[in-house]
Amino acid sequence: MDFLPPELLPALENYALNHSQDELPVLKELDRQTHLRANKPRMLSGHLQGNFLQLISRLMQPKRILEIGTYTGYSAICLAQGLQENGVLHTIDNNAEQESIVKEFIKKAGLEDKIKLHLGNAADSIPTILTEKEEWDMVFIDADKSNYSLYYDLVFDKVRKGGIIIADNVLWSGKVLKDDSELKKNDKDTRALIEFNQKNYQDNRTFSMLLPLRDGLMMAIKE
């Protein structure tokens, strides 16, 4: 049953924003600077999803968070709001061009001691970051879509029981609804996300849910 008329969705999203916690000033400035200085600013998590990530982090009160895909640092700053006093968030990105804006706003947010930026290929970086015996509380995947399943497999054993893995863009602008015959031959990202979503649905090691927030969030709690 459709409770929300499709034609009202944009207005209802604004209503939701207007009745949610205000965006932190540093995040509002980062949003503005991302649109001015970075390519593909629509990749930014934004106010509504950013608040949701903050909410989950505040509920979890994690000690250790791994983020795969930094972009300009918006989601990292959001997730770091719920860290324990001695907590740390490690974030990985392979785009060195964004390093200056990421570090600039981590500093402005007062999170230099809590957010550690790693530049490089995620598949290579993850094993080096996860070498410690201590388990991880949260993982946020928001990187190259064709490798979502790989990243999930690389981190899974290091996530504690009760820990959560969140993956962004799993609805991929609705393209996941297409049959394989409707997809372009070179559309590896959509095919990879369809496989990733099915993999999560069938993983009996977790309690998972695909949340249709923004471009879709897959959330899996390790049991």
Q: Residues 30-56: pLDDT tens digits?
A: 999 999 999 999 999 999 999 999 999
CATH assignment of the domain containing 55: 3.40.50.150
Which two tokens mark 203? 């993983």
Closest CA to 106 of 136, 80, 87, 68: 80
Tell me the average pLDDT of the chain. 96
Residues 164, 158: Cα–Cα separation, whole Å: 11
Could you tell me if residue 29 is inside a domain?
yes
Percent of the chain with pLDDT over 90: 92
Q: How confident is the model at residue 2 (pLDDT cuts 50, 70, 90)?
A: confident
Could you tell me if residue 1 is inside a domain?
no
Q: Is the model's pLDDT at 132 over the cut of 80?
A: no
Could you tell me if residue 12 is inside a domain?
yes
Could you tell me if residue 126 is inside a domain?
yes
Could you tell me if residue 206 is inside a domain?
yes
Q: How confident is the model at residue 1 (pLDDT cuts 50, 70, 90)?
A: low
Could you tell me if residue 135 is inside a domain?
yes
Q: Is the model's pLDDT at 118 over the cut of 70?
A: yes
Overall domain count for the chain:
1
Task: Give the per-residue pLDDT at 34.
Answer: 97
In degrees and rounded to multiples of 5, residue 90 shows phi and psi of -100, 130
Domain limits for position 169 = 6-222
Task: Give the per-residue pLDDT at 131.
Answer: 83
Q: Which of 1-5, 14-18, 41-45, 142-146 has the lowest mean pLDDT?
A: 1-5
Could you tell me if residue 145 is inside a domain?
yes
Could you tell me if residue 106 is inside a domain?
yes
